[in-house]
Amino acid sequence: MSEQANRGLEGVVVGETRTSLVDGAAGKLSYGGYRIEDLAAHASFEEVVFLLWHNRLPGAAELEALRHDIAGNASLPADLLKQVRAFPAEADPMAVLESAVAALSFHDVDAADNSLEASRRKAVRLTGQITTLCAAWIRTRQGEDPIAPHSDLSLAQNFLYMVRGVEPDETASAALNVYLVLLAEHGMNASTFTARVVTATESDIHSAVVAAIGALKGPAHGGANTAAMNMFMEIGDPCRVADWFSDEVLDKRRRIMGIGHRVYKALDPRASVLKQHARALAASTGNSKWFDIAEKLELAARAEDFFIQRRLFPNVDYYSAILLYTIDLDVDMFTPLFVMSRIAGWSAHIFEQKRNNRLIRPKVNYIGPLDLEWEPVAERPVRSTG
Ligand code: COA
């Protein structure tokens, strides 16, 4: 007897968490009780990592210890760098991350230990190593040597230093820090759920993170930031927004990337903060073209009945695309930068899952035929493949 299926598991509650509260109706988000707006204004990414992993803010010494631990463990094994150099330059950077994170597990000193304590140590290393991998890939694919991480820098500063090889510019590091803080955690999103499913089988944190990267890659999830920037580039000029919206969205029913959300039926609070930062950053460079395109398109959508009725607003990916582009990062690296941040939330959920684990195993309604007669292969009629 079939039961009513819930497509997309919408509204299904699968557990409890202390990491974050996503209030989709009110458009509010907090990590461990702290409003996202306050964290974006005041916290370093490392402070947020501590908050998510320990459910409280760190003291000064604890914060410095974690920053130092992440930066001090961010180097990549020489063998792995050699492997990464052999990847084709045109490889999808998310596939590079999937492969390289899997390979990092061979080199981890705690590889054989799947305890909670060992997973916490691995999470510290993965947080730094993923940042180093992202920077190394940007340089390697251009034929440049990767730069080793600097143990005195914050994660945001270290990334820019490892990409550019010069002391990081304060405006860019601050903007990147805000981005990392805002994307660190978001309840039971698809990639976090994936990480929990893998962890629940008693598999290891590297496997859970590789699977989560795979889930984040899709344009319905983390891939939307790259897709949004490609869309802004396709529009190309603020004066083309109205025609593009009319032709592509209203006529062809194309989706606007970076708009809409499964949970938020009000404005995503991260989008508001990112919009302010993207606007200020664009103004500081003297080139507001991309911001203007994004804002004009947002306003066109928000004035249209279709979007009003379905309560479709910009999500986190919409203005983060403008912010990352303005600090001169490659468009196809936007989703790997999402990974650089979300490793914090994934790890927090992996720890929670390990502390209170039960195999995650839902059901599905079978809708195919039953009781068919077995036919030997030689006697089967030729059928077209549907
Ligand atoms: N542009 C235009 N229409 C959109 C839309 C968008 N970005 N997002 C959703 N819609 C429409 C759908 O066509 C659908 O319309 P219908 O009622 O006429 O069928 C309705 O809104 C509901 O969409 P649905 O796909 O069922 O919602 P969902 O909760 O399953 O999907 C997203 C949520 C995020 C996958 C979806 O909004 C989307 O594809 N957004 C663009 C990609 C994106 O930004 N992803 C990052 C999310 S953080």
Please tell me the predicted confidence (pLDDT) of residue 386: 63
Of all protein residues, the one whose alpha carbon is nearest to atom 31 of ligand 1 is 262
Please say if the pLDDT value at position 81 is more than 90.
Answer: yes
Residue 1: pLDDT band (50, 70, 90) is low
Kindly report, residue by residue over 321-372, the tens digit of the pLDDT: 999 999 999 999 999 999 999 999 999 999 999 999 999 999 999 999 999 9
Nearest protein Cα to ligand 1, atom 47: 221
136 neighbors 144 (Cβ within 8 angstroms): no
- Which pTM was predicted? 0.95
Q: Alpha-carbon distance 21 to 34, whole Å?
A: 10
317 is catalytic: yes
- The residue annotated as part of the active site, out of 204, 268, 292, 317, is 317
Residue nearest to atom 11 of ligand 1 (CA): 310
* Amino acid letter, residue 205: I
H helices of the chain, in order, are 36-42, 45-54, 60-72, 78-85, 93-107, 116-140, 155-164, 170-183, 190-200, 205-216, 224-235, 241-244, 269-285, 289-302, 305-309, 316-326, 334-355
Rounded distance, CA 168 to CA 145, Å? 18
Question: Which atom of ligand 1 lies at the shortest distance from residue 261's CA?
Answer: 34
What is the Å distance from ligand 1's center to 308 Cα? 13
Residues with CB under 6 A from ligand 1: 8, 220-221, 224, 255-262, 310, 312, 315-317
153 in Cβ contact with 168 (< 8 Å): yes
- Please write the tens of the pLDDT for every residue from 45-75: 999 999 999 999 999 999 999 999 999 999 9
Give the ligand 1 atom nearest the CA of 8: 30
Q: What is the pLDDT of residue 324?
A: 96
Q: Which atom of ligand 1 is nearest to the CA of 222?
A: 46
- Indicate whether 195 pLDDT > 90: yes
Amino acid at 22: V
- Kindly give the distance from the C-alpha atom of residue 139 to the centroid of ligand 1, in angstroms, as a whole number: 35
Distances from the Cα of 41 to the Cαs of 38, 45, 62, 134, 178, in angstroms? 5, 11, 20, 25, 8
- Tokens read off for 256: 């606007």
